[in-house]
Amino acid sequence: MHAQAKKFIEKRINQLIKDYDFEKRKKTNPDECVCYEQNKKCHNLEELNCFFCYCPNYDTSVKEGGCKINSPKGKYIDNHEGKIWDCSDCDIMHNKENIRKYLSNRLYNI
């Protein structure tokens, strides 16, 4: 990727993170998510960020799912068809500092 393109994207990471703050999003895009409509967070975080609504670390390569980074906050649960990975207690990708690190790392490892 061209250096100018990287700088352009890097400058906008902070704005993306601001735009996906739960409190802001529920006001600006209330119909986008049932959580916004109900004013109920899907993760128990004071400053929840919704940029990664679906975790990029969720392993879809197997039917039961899993965590590519082995988060200690996830667990397998029985979904009446077998086990499935439940990461609803994990907040790693909903923390703005972790989002910033992830996006910056991806930007320079393309």
pLDDT, block means (10 residues), the chain with 110 residues = 80 91 95 93 90 92 92 89 89 92 78
**Same-domain status, 103 and 81:** no
**Same-domain status, 102 and 50:** yes
**Same-domain status, 1 and 34:** yes
Length of the chain: 110
What's the confidence (pLDDT) of residue 11? 85
In 3D space, the residue among 69, 49, 48, 74 whose CA is nearest the CA of residue 57 turns out to be 69
Model-level pTM?
0.78
**Same-domain status, 63 and 32:** no
**Same-domain status, 12 and 31:** yes
For 43, the token pair is 């993760």
**Same-domain status, 49 and 3:** yes
Q: How many structural domains comprise the chain?
A: 2
At residue 53, what is the residue type? Answer: C
Residues 94, 98, 103, 106: what is their CA dihedral angle, to the nearest 10 degrees? -120
At residue 98, what is the residue type? Answer: N
21 is in which domain, residue-wise? 1-55+91-110
